[in-house]
Amino acid sequence: MSKIKPEDKSKLMIGYIVSGVVLLAGIIAMLFYKQVFTQTEAKNVFGALSDSFFVPGVIFVGIGGLSKLSTFGAYDTFGYLFSRFSFHNFWVTGAKRKKYDSLYDYKQEKDKKGRSWLPYVFWTGVVSCGISIVLLIIYLSI
């Protein structure tokens, strides 16, 4: 396993903190939507808590998974398409010459720059889904 540089650790930690705060905001929004604070029965509370952790968790896992797919070049064709036919090039005549001559050149440039993904979004979503499963087990055992 390679060593992570201190500046990369701080960026990663900031990513986890921001992702956790946004996830927490989604959970709180779901808690209000499911009206957890007005529930009187424990079974209903645990069911609503499970739902409140599951929905934002699945969204975060999906976003993180899609960003991981982008590291394999899954969306290069779309990126190339939008770089060729951007709003500026489409509407303004005599626009700048396109930056890439072909899709192959575009992919080579992306590979040279390096590709990154959002592991903090993925893993905070996995943790939220895990908490949801524990709450679901409690809900089903009551």
Per-residue pLDDT of the chain (142 residues; tens, 9 = 90+): 456 666 778 888 999 999 999 999 999 999 999 999 999 999 999 999 999 999 999 999 999 999 999 888 888 888 887 777 765 555 555 555 557 778 888 888 888 888 888 899 999 999 999 999 999 999 999 8
How much is the pLDDT for 35? 93
How much is the pLDDT for 86? 66
How much is the pLDDT for 91? 58
Rounded alpha-carbon distances, angstroms, from residue 3 to 9, 17, 75, 116 = 10, 21, 29, 17
How much is the pLDDT for 78? 84
- Please state, in angstroms and rounded to a whole number, the distance separating the CA atoms of residues 2 and 97: 41
Closest listed residue to residue 80, CA positions, set 105, 63, 97: 105
Rounded (5°) CA angle 38-34-37: 25
